[in-house]
């Protein structure tokens, strides 16, 4: 059976894997239970330093609080992560940086970003500044409480690009990974988004779905899965969406825990290594995206954020961020990066070589 929803976060369970240091020890074969895994360092396989080509997207993780606690979550988000929430002051610093550096897209993620009390302020402030907003919405948040029920209209008013996870078009497979009742609420939320104009090819109301595998294997073809999801969702539920992004599960946080406890860690890492595809190096998302944590620290991507691998600059914080220094930095890579280069590649926008 595949990866199954957790009842608590690693953090609240005081699990060893809640520590980024321990996760990195495991990934580098220095710690039980997976010592000495014989795959070369990622940087050796890459054969080059990974350098940015600019900051086109500022991805802001505004908090780890979430109404769900999905099995594969690399953020270790959940209902008990109440305290890690970005303040309005830090959001303002992000916005100032984006405006100063003509960044055209702010990609808001979490947790469930809508649970941050300053979420709507941030969206409206971005739009007033002419910045496009992506929101990574887990769908069920819309149905979780009446105070979130108007989110589809709010998104439409602000022309927010919605990207939402839906692991499968069947209830069993979705609920297994994301929790009981998630599938039904996701479909109900998708219907509300469709009613608000989302998912019909209008560039102002983009609704994309994310598929990630439900176990220790690479995703199938994005093109094929998109066709299958579109046909099944329209036929079974009358639901439309624009594109499907396939994302590889990276061995970080709760997915790393699943790999270790299920005995799949070694074979999965070997699979990622064997599927290493150098043509994905050019399109790695860390080369054009900068990631900001809830407390304002800077990272090369959301995965590095969860491993506490800060960007390689003197003061990696949004309050002192310097675009030129960031442009000249070397991106921090480690063994989890094999997840981004395997097969067709993986990024927050799906396959790299699609
Ligand atoms: S909805 Fe997203 S952030 Fe929340 S627990 Fe699931 S994967 Fe993590
Ligand atoms: S995990 Fe992050 S740093 Fe590593 S290759 Fe992927 S995007 Fe780049």
CA distance 79 to 88: 21
Domain membership of residue 274 (yes or no) is yes
34: pLDDT confidence band, cut at 50, 70 and 90?
Answer: low
Domain membership of residue 74 (yes or no) is yes
Residue 3, pLDDT score: 46
CA of 308 to the centre of ligand 2 (A): 13
Give the closest residue (by CA) to ligand 2 atom 2.
301
Q: For residue 138, which ligand has an atom nearest its CA?
A: 1
Q: For residue 6, which ligand has an atom nearest its CA?
A: 1
Percent of the chain past pLDDT 90, that is, above it, reads 88
The whole model's pTM is what? 0.95
Q: Is any ligand 1 atom within 6 A of the Cβ of residue 110?
A: yes
- Nearest atom (ligand 1) to Cα of 78: 5
1: pLDDT confidence band, cut at 50, 70 and 90?
Answer: very low
Domain that holds residue 240: 16-341
- Nearest atom (ligand 2) to Cα of 346: 6
Q: Is any ligand 1 atom within 6 A of the Cβ of residue 141?
A: no
- Is residue 109 scored above 50 in pLDDT? yes
Domain membership of residue 349 (yes or no) is no
At 278, is the secondary structure helix, strand, or coil? helix
- Is residue 347 scored above 50 in pLDDT? yes
Domain membership of residue 65 (yes or no) is yes
Alpha-helical segments (H) within the chain: 20-27, 42-46, 88-100, 119-128, 140-144, 151-157, 171-178, 182-195, 222-237, 253-261, 265-274, 302-306, 323-327, 338-341
36: pLDDT confidence band, cut at 50, 70 and 90?
Answer: low
Q: Is any ligand 1 atom within 6 A of the Cβ of residue 77?
A: yes
Please tell me what DSSP assigns to residue 72.
T
Domain membership of residue 81 (yes or no) is yes
* Mean pLDDT confidence for 87-102: 98
pLDDT higher at 21 or 353: 21
pLDDT digits (tens, 9 = 90+) for 293-319: 999 999 999 999 999 999 999 999 999
Q: For residue 73, which ligand has an atom nearest its CA?
A: 1
Q: Is any ligand 2 atom within 6 A of the Cβ of residue 287?
A: no
- Is residue 211 scored above 70 in pLDDT? yes
Domain membership of residue 350 (yes or no) is no
- What is the count of structural domains for the chain? 1
Q: What phi, psi does 256 have (nearest 5°)?
A: -65, -40
Q: Is any ligand 1 atom within 6 A of the Cβ of residue 67?
A: no
CA of 100 to the centre of ligand 1 (A): 31
CATH of the domain at 276: 3.20.20
Residue 210, pLDDT score: 96
Residue 2, pLDDT score: 47
Q: For residue 80, which ligand has an atom nearest its CA?
A: 1
* Mean pLDDT confidence for 26-48: 80
Percent of the chain past pLDDT 70, that is, above it, reads 96
CA distance 193 to 241: 9
- Is residue 72 scored above 60 in pLDDT? yes
CA of 250 to the centre of ligand 1 (A): 14
> 5-19, 151-165, 186-200, 238-252: which range is least confident on average?
5-19
Domain membership of residue 335 (yes or no) is yes
Give the closest residue (by CA) to ligand 2 atom 8.
286
- How far does CA 166 lie from the centroid of its chain? 13
Residue 6, pLDDT score: 58
Give 108's strand partners.
60, 135
pLDDT digits (tens, 9 = 90+) for 129-153: 999 999 999 999 999 999 999 999 9
Domain membership of residue 250 (yes or no) is yes
Give the closest residue (by CA) to ligand 2 atom 4.
337
């Amino acid at each position: 059976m595949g990866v199954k929803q957790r009842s608590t976060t690693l953090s609240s369970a005081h699990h060893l894997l809640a520590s980024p240091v321990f996760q990195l020890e495991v990934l580098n074969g220095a710690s039980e239970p997976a010592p000495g895994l014989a795959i070369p360092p990622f940087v050796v396989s890459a054969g080059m330093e990974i350098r940015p080509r600019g900051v086109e997207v500022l991805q802001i993780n505004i908090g780890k609080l979430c109404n769900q606690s999905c099995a594969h979550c690399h953020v270790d988000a959940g209902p008990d992560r109440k305290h890690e929430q970005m303040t309005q002051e830090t959001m303002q610093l992000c916005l100032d940086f984006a405006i100063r550096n003509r960044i055209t897209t702010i990609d808001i993620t979490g947790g469930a970003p809508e649970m941050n009390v300053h979420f709507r302020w941030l969206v409206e402030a971005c739009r007033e500044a002419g910045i496009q907003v992506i929101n990574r919405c887990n769908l069920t948040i819309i149905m979780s409480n009446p105070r979130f029920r108007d989110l589809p209209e709010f998104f439409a008013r602000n022309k927010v690009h919605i990207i939402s996870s839906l692991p499968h078009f069947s209830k069993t497979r979705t609920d297994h990974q994301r929790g009981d009742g998630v599938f039904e609420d996701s479909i109900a939320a998708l219907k509300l988004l469709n009613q608000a104009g989302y998912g019909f090819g209008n560039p102002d109301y983009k609704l994309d779905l994310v598929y990630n595998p439900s176990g220790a294997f690479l995703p199938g073809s994005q093109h094929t899965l998109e066709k299958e999801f579109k046909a099944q969702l329209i036929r079974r539920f009358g639901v439309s969406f624009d594109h499907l992004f396939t994302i590889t599960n990276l061995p970080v946080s709760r997915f790393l825990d699943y790999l270790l406890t299920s005995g799949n860690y070694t074979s999965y890492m070997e699979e990622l290594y064997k599927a290493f595809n150098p043509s994905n190096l050019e399109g790695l998302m860390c080369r054009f995206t900068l990631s900001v944590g809830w407390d304002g620290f800077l990272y090369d991507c959301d995965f590095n954020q969860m491993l506490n691998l800060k960007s390689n600059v003197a003061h990696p914080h949004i309050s002192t961020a310097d675009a030129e220094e960031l442009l000249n930095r070397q991106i921090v890579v480690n063994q989890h990066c094999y997840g981004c280069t395997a097969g067709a590649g993986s990024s927050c926008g799906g396959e790299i070589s699609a």
